[in-house]
Amino acid sequence: MKDVTDDKANELGIRLRPITLSDVEAIMTWINDPEITKNFAGFNDPITRDSEAAFIAKMAASQTDHLYAIVDRADVAIGTAGIHQIYRPAGNGRLGIMLGRGRGRGWGRKALELLVQIAFEQLHLHKVWIVHFADNARMAHLCEVLGFKVEGVLREEYFHRDRHWDMVRESLLAHEYRAAHALPSE
Protein backbone atom coordinates (compact mmCIF):
# COMPACT_ATOMS: atom_id res chain seq x y z
CA MET A 1 0.00 0.00 0.00
CA LYS A 2 1.35 3.38 -1.00
CA ASP A 3 1.11 6.54 1.06
CA VAL A 4 -1.31 8.98 -0.46
CA THR A 5 -1.10 12.72 -0.53
CA ASP A 6 -1.55 15.52 -3.07
CA ASP A 7 -0.78 19.24 -3.37
CA LYS A 8 -3.82 20.34 -1.35
CA ALA A 9 -3.12 17.73 1.32
CA ASN A 10 0.46 18.94 1.53
CA GLU A 11 -0.79 22.48 2.01
CA LEU A 12 -3.02 21.27 4.87
CA GLY A 13 -0.18 19.11 6.19
CA ILE A 14 -2.05 15.80 6.20
CA ARG A 15 -1.43 12.45 4.59
CA LEU A 16 -2.85 8.92 4.67
CA ARG A 17 -0.47 6.06 5.33
CA PRO A 18 -0.99 2.44 6.40
CA ILE A 19 -1.74 2.31 10.14
CA THR A 20 0.70 0.52 12.47
CA LEU A 21 0.71 -0.60 16.10
CA SER A 22 2.93 2.38 16.92
CA ASP A 23 -0.10 4.62 16.23
CA VAL A 24 -2.00 3.27 19.26
CA GLU A 25 -0.64 5.85 21.74
CA ALA A 26 -1.77 8.79 19.59
CA ILE A 27 -5.14 7.17 18.88
CA MET A 28 -5.80 6.65 22.59
CA THR A 29 -5.67 10.45 23.12
CA TRP A 30 -8.91 10.90 21.14
CA ILE A 31 -10.60 7.57 20.41
CA ASN A 32 -13.01 7.82 23.37
CA ASP A 33 -14.03 11.44 22.69
CA PRO A 34 -17.88 11.49 22.86
CA GLU A 35 -17.95 13.72 19.75
CA ILE A 36 -16.44 10.78 17.88
CA THR A 37 -18.10 7.83 19.58
CA LYS A 38 -21.62 9.25 19.11
CA ASN A 39 -21.17 8.74 15.36
CA PHE A 40 -20.37 5.02 15.59
CA ALA A 41 -22.98 2.50 16.64
CA GLY A 42 -20.34 -0.09 17.53
CA PHE A 43 -18.76 2.16 20.18
CA ASN A 44 -20.79 1.41 23.27
CA ASP A 45 -17.99 0.59 25.72
CA PRO A 46 -14.76 2.59 26.10
CA ILE A 47 -11.95 1.45 23.80
CA THR A 48 -8.90 0.23 25.68
CA ARG A 49 -5.27 0.31 24.51
CA ASP A 50 -5.35 -3.47 24.14
CA SER A 51 -8.60 -3.55 22.18
CA GLU A 52 -7.34 -0.83 19.83
CA ALA A 53 -4.06 -2.71 19.28
CA ALA A 54 -6.01 -5.91 18.59
CA PHE A 55 -8.20 -4.06 16.10
CA ILE A 56 -5.17 -2.68 14.23
CA ALA A 57 -3.55 -6.14 14.13
CA LYS A 58 -6.79 -7.64 12.82
CA MET A 59 -7.05 -5.00 10.11
CA ALA A 60 -3.41 -5.54 9.08
CA ALA A 61 -4.07 -9.27 8.62
CA SER A 62 -7.35 -8.77 6.77
CA GLN A 63 -7.76 -9.31 3.03
CA THR A 64 -10.97 -7.29 3.01
CA ASP A 65 -9.93 -4.18 4.95
CA HIS A 66 -7.39 -1.43 4.30
CA LEU A 67 -6.98 0.82 7.32
CA TYR A 68 -4.96 4.04 7.19
CA ALA A 69 -3.79 6.58 9.71
CA ILE A 70 -4.57 10.19 8.86
CA VAL A 71 -1.30 11.82 9.92
CA ASP A 72 -0.14 15.39 10.43
CA ARG A 73 3.20 16.89 9.40
CA ALA A 74 4.87 15.23 12.41
CA ASP A 75 3.52 11.82 11.26
CA VAL A 76 1.23 11.67 14.32
CA ALA A 77 -2.12 9.91 13.82
CA ILE A 78 -4.90 12.51 14.06
CA GLY A 79 -7.52 10.12 12.71
CA THR A 80 -8.18 6.92 10.85
CA ALA A 81 -9.72 6.18 7.49
CA GLY A 82 -10.51 2.77 6.09
CA ILE A 83 -11.94 0.81 3.22
CA HIS A 84 -13.76 -2.21 4.63
CA GLN A 85 -15.89 -5.15 3.51
CA ILE A 86 -14.04 -5.15 0.19
CA TYR A 87 -15.93 -7.52 -2.06
CA ARG A 88 -13.80 -8.21 -5.11
CA PRO A 89 -16.38 -9.98 -7.30
CA ALA A 90 -18.42 -6.78 -7.45
CA GLY A 91 -15.51 -4.41 -6.78
CA ASN A 92 -17.08 -2.55 -3.90
CA GLY A 93 -16.06 -1.47 -0.41
CA ARG A 94 -17.41 0.46 2.58
CA LEU A 95 -15.62 3.63 3.64
CA GLY A 96 -15.15 4.74 7.23
CA ILE A 97 -13.52 7.89 8.56
CA MET A 98 -12.82 9.26 12.01
CA LEU A 99 -10.96 12.50 12.56
CA GLY A 100 -9.78 12.61 16.16
CA ARG A 101 -8.18 16.04 16.25
CA GLY A 102 -8.69 19.27 14.31
CA ARG A 103 -12.28 18.84 13.16
CA GLY A 104 -13.76 21.67 11.08
CA ARG A 105 -10.51 22.70 9.34
CA GLY A 106 -10.98 20.84 6.08
CA TRP A 107 -8.82 17.89 7.15
CA GLY A 108 -11.70 15.40 7.17
CA ARG A 109 -12.72 16.44 3.68
CA LYS A 110 -9.19 16.07 2.39
CA ALA A 111 -8.73 12.70 4.13
CA LEU A 112 -11.97 11.41 2.59
CA GLU A 113 -10.83 12.63 -0.85
CA LEU A 114 -7.53 10.77 -0.42
CA LEU A 115 -9.38 7.64 0.72
CA VAL A 116 -11.61 7.74 -2.34
CA GLN A 117 -8.52 8.24 -4.50
CA ILE A 118 -6.96 5.08 -3.02
CA ALA A 119 -10.18 3.12 -3.54
CA PHE A 120 -10.44 3.99 -7.21
CA GLU A 121 -6.86 4.62 -8.34
CA GLN A 122 -4.92 2.05 -6.27
CA LEU A 123 -7.46 -0.65 -5.43
CA HIS A 124 -9.41 -0.17 -8.67
CA LEU A 125 -12.77 -0.62 -7.00
CA HIS A 126 -15.95 -0.06 -8.96
CA LYS A 127 -17.98 1.45 -6.13
CA VAL A 128 -17.50 2.83 -2.62
CA TRP A 129 -20.31 3.21 -0.12
CA ILE A 130 -20.70 4.71 3.32
CA VAL A 131 -23.35 4.52 6.01
CA HIS A 132 -23.80 7.44 8.39
CA PHE A 133 -26.30 8.46 11.05
CA ALA A 134 -29.11 10.42 9.41
CA ASP A 135 -28.39 13.35 11.74
CA ASN A 136 -24.65 13.47 10.93
CA ALA A 137 -25.03 16.66 8.87
CA ARG A 138 -21.29 17.21 8.54
CA MET A 139 -20.77 13.78 6.99
CA ALA A 140 -23.81 14.18 4.75
CA HIS A 141 -22.41 17.51 3.53
CA LEU A 142 -18.98 15.98 2.85
CA CYS A 143 -20.56 13.13 0.87
CA GLU A 144 -22.52 15.64 -1.19
CA VAL A 145 -19.52 17.79 -2.06
CA LEU A 146 -17.52 14.70 -3.05
CA GLY A 147 -20.27 13.61 -5.42
CA PHE A 148 -21.77 10.71 -3.46
CA LYS A 149 -25.41 9.86 -4.17
CA VAL A 150 -27.89 8.88 -1.47
CA GLU A 151 -29.03 5.29 -2.04
CA GLY A 152 -31.61 5.33 0.70
CA VAL A 153 -32.49 5.55 4.36
CA LEU A 154 -32.10 2.41 6.47
CA ARG A 155 -34.96 3.01 8.86
CA GLU A 156 -34.17 2.42 12.55
CA GLU A 157 -31.21 0.30 11.40
CA TYR A 158 -28.84 0.72 14.36
CA PHE A 159 -29.43 0.44 18.09
CA HIS A 160 -27.14 2.84 19.93
CA ARG A 161 -27.38 4.61 23.27
CA ASP A 162 -30.76 3.12 24.17
CA ARG A 163 -32.61 3.85 20.95
CA HIS A 164 -32.84 3.02 17.27
CA TRP A 165 -31.42 5.36 14.64
CA ASP A 166 -32.08 5.93 10.95
CA MET A 167 -28.95 5.49 8.84
CA VAL A 168 -28.26 6.90 5.38
CA ARG A 169 -26.37 4.88 2.80
CA GLU A 170 -24.50 6.82 0.10
CA SER A 171 -22.21 5.72 -2.71
CA LEU A 172 -19.86 6.89 -5.42
CA LEU A 173 -19.11 4.97 -8.62
CA ALA A 174 -15.72 4.77 -10.34
CA HIS A 175 -17.00 6.33 -13.55
CA GLU A 176 -18.52 9.25 -11.61
CA TYR A 177 -15.18 9.78 -9.84
CA ARG A 178 -13.21 9.56 -13.08
CA ALA A 179 -15.53 12.00 -14.86
CA ALA A 180 -15.32 14.47 -11.95
CA HIS A 181 -11.50 14.31 -12.02
CA ALA A 182 -11.23 14.34 -15.82
CA LEU A 183 -9.54 10.92 -15.74
CA PRO A 184 -9.81 8.59 -18.74
CA SER A 185 -12.06 5.59 -18.26
CA GLU A 186 -10.22 2.38 -17.32
Ligand X SMILES: CC(C)(COP(=O)(O)OP(=O)(O)OC[C@H]1O[C@@H](n2cnc3c(N)ncnc32)[C@H](O)[C@@H]1OP(=O)(O)O)[C@@H](O)C(=O)NCCC(=O)NCCS
Q: Does residue 161 touch ligand X according to CB under 6 A? A: no
Q: Does residue 145 touch ligand X according to CB under 6 A? A: yes
- Site track 19-38 with ligand X (rule: CB under 6 A), x = hit: -----------------x--
Of the candidates 126, 178, 104, which has an alpha carbon nearest to the alpha carbon of residue 147? 178
The Cα–Cα gap between 69 and 62 comes to 16
Which one of 1, 48, 75, 106 is in contact with ligand X (CB under 6 A)? 106
The Cα–Cα gap between 11 and 138 comes to 22
# chain residues binding ligand X, by CB under 6 A:
21
The Cα–Cα gap between 120 and 117 comes to 5
Helix axes 137-145, 107-117, angle to 10 degrees: 50
Which one of 12, 77, 142, 167 is in contact with ligand X (CB under 6 A)? 142
Phi, psi torsion values for 67, nearest 5 degrees: -110, 130
Q: Does residue 47 touch ligand X according to CB under 6 A? A: no
Q: Which of residues 50-89 bind ligand X (CB under 6 A)?
A: none
Which one of 83, 125, 139, 173 is in contact with ligand X (CB under 6 A)? 139
Contacts of 23 (CB under 8 A, 6+ apart): 56, 69, 77
Q: Least CB distance from residue 172 to ligand X, whole Å? A: 14
Q: Which residues bind ligand X (CB under 6 A)?
A: 36, 39, 97-99, 103-109, 130, 132, 136-139, 141-142, 145
